[in-house]
Amino acid sequence: MDKRIGLIGLGIMGKPIARNLLKAGYSLTVYSRGRSTVEALMADGAAGARSSQEVAERSDVVITMVTDTPDVRQVILGDNGVLTGMRAGGIIIDMSTVSPSATREIAEVVKAKGVHFLDAPVSGGEGGAIAGTLSIMVGGDAEVFSGCLPIFQAMGKNITHVGGTGTGQLTKLCNQIAVAVTNLAMSEALVFAAKAGVNLEKMHQAISGGAAGSWQLSNLAPRIFQRDFAPGFMVKLQQKDLRLVLQEADRLHLALPATSLAHSLFNALETAGAGDEGTQALVKVLEQLAGVGVKV
């Protein structure tokens, strides 16, 4: 593989993405605030760096996968950041889920230094990251996207160039609206069935293959039945994304009543101390309201 890749951020998503890039044969340099995760990837064949700048100095393409908008700003534009070490003609791909307006601002600064920028958030959770089957929605220059397509193909299966800078982030927010509201709908269906005394597993089998079928129903409902609330995607990160949705909706003077309700219910879940649990824990709020448990 001709392009040297750098990856900053080795969390739930970043670590398996790094491993898939190594499997694809890329030369990879990694950096994360947690040194133990860097060392784990070094054991797999990556080179370790001690700053974002050092990653950029060793790379033709730098991927960032961090938590929130301020983190992206710091990693790319801050002291010892990516931009301080990136040569003109290099490419920064931000795969975090962050503010679309901030993405455009960061991209302008990056482009002024002669560096290309793509916003490429992902969907598919930890399982998709491990399997290399992520959906990747990419905003930015089409020619730069085409040049990076083999890199994306090492990480995902459904890869779409959706438009100019910032449209990747806007598309990801559309994804998060659909995900959160579908999660709520699934949770209501499960609580309704439990309260009515319907056999949960038979109900699940009956409706999963029809018009009610969804990723959430297929993947999250069985975990709820077993009371497995380990995160594929954490409640607190879902909430971060929904705040971005509602901020953008406010800017557009747009009503999103179902999204707002999901956000409010997730707030209740966070208040109960479940911010680090998986998003399937949303059912717990409805269970409390109904006085019933969804379990088999």
**Residue whose entry in the numeric block shows the structure tokens 């409902």:** 221
> Is 284 labeled as catalytic in the residue annotation?
no
**Distance of alpha carbon 132 from its chain centroid, rounded?**
14
Contact, 116 vs 2, CB < 8 A?
no
pLDDT per residue over 114-146, tens digit each? 999 999 999 998 899 999 999 999 999 999 999
DSSP codes of every residue in 202-223: HHHHHHHTSTT--HHHHHTHHH
Q: Which of 15, 23, 113, 172 is catalytic?
A: 172
Q: Which residues on neighbouring strands pair with residue 161, listed in sequence order?
A: 138
Contact, 62 vs 56, CB < 8 A?
yes
pLDDT per residue over 226-245, tens digit each? 999 999 889 999 999 999 99
Task: Output the six-digit token pair for 159.
Answer: 């890869």
- Domains of the chain and CATH, by start: 4-163 (3.40.50.720), 171-290 (1.10.1040.10)
- How far apart (Å, rounded) are the C-alpha atoms in residues 67 and 102? 14
Nearest to 217 by CA among 174, 172, 261, 179: 179
Model pLDDT, residue 38: 96
* Residues whose CB is less than 8 angstroms from the CB of residue 131 and which lie 6 or more positions away in sequence, other chains included: none
Task: Enter the DSSP assignment of 234.
Answer: B
Model pLDDT, residue 1: 61
**Taking the model in full, what pTM does it have?**
0.94
Contact, 256 vs 246, CB < 8 A?
yes
Model pLDDT, residue 122: 97
pLDDT per residue over 64-93, tens digit each? 999 999 999 999 999 999 999 999 999 999
In the chain, which residues have pLDDT < 70?
1
- How far apart (Å, rounded) are the C-alpha atoms in residues 233 and 215? 13
